[in-house]
Structure 1
Amino acid sequence: MSDVANQTPGWALLYPEPPQSGARRGPHIYPRSDLLTFSILFLFAAIIRIGTMKFSTVLLPLLAAPFAASEHTSNWAVLVSTSRFWFNYRHLANVLSLYRTVKRLGIPDSQIILMLPDDMACNPRNAFPGTVYNNADRALDLYGDNIEVDYRGYEVTVENFIRLMTDRVGEDMPRSKRLMTDERSNILVYMTGHGGNEFLKFQDAEEISAFDLADAFGQMWEKKRYHEILFMIDTCQANTMYSKFYSPNILATGSSEIDQSSYSHHADNDVGVAVIDRYTYYNLEFLENQVKDPTSKLTMGELFDSYDEEKIHSRPGIRYDLFAGGEQEARNRKVMDFFGNVQNVEVESRNETGWIREAGHSSIKLHKSHEQSVANVSSQQPSVENLRREGAWKVDEEQGWNKQAYGVAALIGCASIWLAGSWLESM
């Protein structure tokens, strides 16, 4: 049999041998035929895969053109008040005011982390129990029914804040207390309270330093937890808190320079204390009066240009050097890139090369399997001939190839439907 196998022409191993006239063939093993079928299907799947990726990389970015410049797929907000006690009412109002604004502009509660160290709404000194206001006319209750506080009271600590930002939490931590960001997330970090030169007090009991904050953002960058960060802080000597930042893609702004205080805007005589700070008040004035809806095209540069030292009573600072593209690129960023919400389609074109590399490895494996199958054919010829004599399990060659052709046609049809569905879904 070995001589016969050696004399067999190459085409006989690739295609089934023609049946003898007047005889029906018994069972036969066609390893090369099966290999050919599998190779056709594999190559067809590769073409469909690559075609789909080309479709995605060319057409989907055009459909997502309004968002393509920012290259982020989600927005998150971390809003932190660090002050306890009734006389710090305005710090709670600062955070709740910004909380209402980002919710109005589209960021859902599931992507907002709200940290409130004290419950001013239920303080016995509150003349309006269960409410918090930021204006003397009390037109809007900031502490309404739909507020979701994630960290409350003594949960607001330096340790918990750093663990939140770096995701160093236990598996039992509820999702509502975690910052579930990735390398495609833009994050607004707003902090308010009492501070000094390169420190911010937490609940009048501990401090977070500018170095601590810088290292937390450094860990976030190394762990791919953000795409861009807008850091805003309203405290005395606020600008010193971002002086130690070193991680890329951070745009930072604060209410006052070193040796400057951050002042309150106005007080409510019935409440008995100041109800909002000046820096936060004028940021909110721009956001509420100018940014009407999530389609706004206003830029961060326009927001920064609205700062008036005579109104704020201190000199706000802005740090551009860490941002990719520098000052011009940072100023051109849309306000909605940080204060609003996006739901982008993430195009994974970067995986295309890797997938093709995997296809090459698969081809090598197929070639090795083919060589092994040739050896198996030679060793299995006697048993095949015996089975042929017994006449069990007869297969017609033409029907077999017809079935394979039908299978390929069905696969082409399914792929066409898939491509059409993907195109319609991306519209």
Structure 2
Amino acid sequence: MPCQDGDEAVKRTLVAAPLADAVHTSNWAVLVSTSRFWFNYRHLANTLSLYRTVKRLGIPDNQIILMLPDDMACNPRNTFTGSVFNDKSRLLDLYDDKGALEHLGMGGIEVDYRGNEVTVENFIRLLTDRWPTSHPHSKRLMTGPQSNVLIYMTGHGGNEFLKFQDSEEISSFDLADAFAQMYEKKRYHELLFMIDTCQANTMYNAFYSPGVIATGSSAKDQSSYSHHADQDVGVAVIDRWTYFYLEFLETYLNSTASDVRLGELFDYQTYDRVHSDAGVRYDLFPGGELAAREKRVLDFFGNVQGVEIEDGLKSSQIDWKKDLEALQKLAAKVEGEQEDVEGVHDSPIATAAGKLNASGPKATLDMAHASDSFLKKIAGAASLVVLGGAWMASSALTKQAAIK
């Protein structure tokens, strides 16, 4: 039908279009559990586990959107009131971490959407930023063309759909169109989509927006399995795919300086570990599989503190060197005029000009011997030239370091 042909043309155009030429300056995470009820305890634990890990690696709470449809910590069936665990050892309380995060002042959780707020509509609105002006900024995904976005989803699903609280579903086509809107509105630089559910890999088949890497826990007609149960809690406490992602992240990313690549992370999800065929889709990413696998894990899971510099303020090394040479010539000219003044033999200006490269900002002018007012003016001008050159060189180097 014509409408289908038109849709296919739009998709081809999006895939062929280049990504915005923007510098990666920030990372955001959207972490979504879509299941309620006590027997789905593991889905909330999955989400809180990823939440704790990205916080540990430096993404601040104001750049994490956490969606939890149920409060397992306060469920009357919970033997350990106020706590949620992802391991039967119960050494780590995901609701109120008493470990390293608390030591850093990062203990506890901040839930952005809870209970009945976790809906398909709100999730789509979050991605596309289609909110009324009264919607709080703290509950919005305030991303732009410089932002890398990690989206993690877990729950019950099937062939190209994921349930939200057993009352509605989101399809792979809904997600694909939402990502397309994000791309059109320049709401991401690169996007990593992760999903842990039955037949998870079918959820990214419909994607067509550039700059997206997608990975899932199981192929079509395969289930996604839990890892283990806690007999005292009474239910499974984490899913296998998420468990091994966490194991890798906690083992190999010990700091925000870790140089681990996405390819290593994806390769860790073997069939022996996951008991299903974990999948990855690379073709939407510029450079394909090779480029995607070479991306640093921290480009999505960690903190990035960059500086965005306007085009008019950018200065290359060649530019500031030319400016410095011009200042040196000006200083030399002033020196020549000074030498024409009768009775002046030892000029402090020449000394200052010679120190321009050797001493930089420390170059000073000794004006103790210049009694003539004209000489004082010349020396003062040379001093400004020297200090101006040093300032321009320092400023240019600072900008270059920020860009790198």
TM-score by length of 1: 0.68
Letter in 2 for 1:87: F
Q: How far apart in 2 are the matches of 1:216 and 1:261? A: 26
Secondary structure class of the residue paired with 2:31? strand
Matched, 1:337 2:275: no
Q: How far apart in 2 are the matches of 1:130 and 1:412? A: 66
Matched, 1:136 2:88: yes
Matched, 1:105 2:78: no
Q: What residue number does 2:392 align with?
A: 419
Q: What residue number does 1:116 align with?
A: 68
Q: How far apart in 2 are the matches of 1:205 and 1:174? A: 26
Q: What residue number does 1:243 align with?
A: 205
CA drift of 1:71 comes to 3.8
Q: What residue number does 1:262 align with?
A: 224
Alignment partner of 2:278 out of 304, 307, 316: 316
Q: How far apart in 2 are the matches of 1:196 and 1:110? A: 32
Matched, 1:292 2:254: yes
Alignment partner of 2:46 out of 84, 94, 103: 94
CA drift of 1:420 comes to 5.7
Q: What residue number does 1:156 align with?
A: 118
CA drift of 1:419 comes to 3.1
Q: What residue number does 2:191 align with?
A: 229
Q: State the Cα deviation string for residues 304-346 of structure 1 (Å, max 9, x = none).
A: 1111102211000100000010000000000000000111122
CA drift of 1:268 comes to 0.3
Secondary structure class of the residue paired with 1:76? strand
Alignment partner of 1:74 out of 16, 19, 26: 26
Q: Is contact 2:22-2:145 (8 Å) kept?
A: no
Secondary structure class of the residue paired with 2:52? helix
Q: What residue number does 1:301 align with?
A: 263
Q: How far apart in 1 are the matches of 2:219 and 2:74? A: 34
Q: How far apart in 2 are the matches of 1:245 and 1:347? A: 32
CA drift of 1:162 comes to 0.4
Secondary structure class of the residue paired with 1:97? helix
Secondary structure class of the residue paired with 1:310? helix
CA drift of 1:277 comes to 0.1
Q: Is contact 1:70-1:337 (8 Å) kept?
A: no
Q: What residue number does 1:402 align with?
A: none
Distance 1:325 1:416, change over 3 A: same
Distance 1:413 1:165, change over 3 A: farther
Secondary structure class of the residue paired with 2:223? coil
Matched, 1:349 2:311: yes
Q: Is contact 1:110-1:176 (8 Å) kept?
A: yes
Letter in 1 for 2:148: N
Letter in 1 for 2:395: S
Q: State the Cα deviation string for residues 250-292 of structure 1 (Å, max 9, x = none).
A: 0000000000000000000000000000000000000001111
Q: Which runs of 5+ in 1 are unaligned?
A: 1-68, 353-404
Q: How far apart in 1 are the matches of 2:384 and 2:125? A: 50
Letter in 2 for 1:239: N
Distance 1:248 1:273, change over 3 A: same
Q: What residue number does 1:179 align with?
A: 141
Secondary structure class of the residue paired with 1:229? strand
Q: What residue number does 1:18 align with?
A: none
Letter in 2 for 1:419: M
Q: Is contact 1:117-1:154 (8 Å) kept?
A: yes
Q: What residue number does 1:204 align with?
A: 166
CA drift of 1:198 comes to 0.4
Q: State the Cα deviation string for residues 70-91 of structure 1 (Å, max 9, x = none).
A: 9410000000000000000000
Q: Which of structures 1 and 2 has the bigger CA Rg?
A: 1
Q: State the Cα deviation string for residues 145-166 of structure 1 (Å, max 9, x = none).
A: 5210000000000000000000
Q: How far apart in 1 are the matches of 2:271 and 2:310? A: 45
Matched, 1:191 2:138: no
Structure 1 or 2: more helix by fraction:
1
Mean CA deviation greater in 208-217 or 342-351: 342-351
Q: How far apart in 2 are the matches of 1:179 and 1:410? A: 50
TM-score by length of 2: 0.72
Letter in 2 for 1:422: S
Two-structure CA RMSD over aligned residues (Å): 2.4
Q: What percent identity do the matched residue pairs reach?
A: 69
Aligned residues: 307
Q: How far apart in 2 are the matches of 1:154 and 1:246? A: 30
Q: Is contact 2:22-2:189 (8 Å) kept?
A: no
Provide runs of 4+ in structure 1 moved above 6 Å. 408-415
Secondary structure class of the residue paired with 1:303? helix
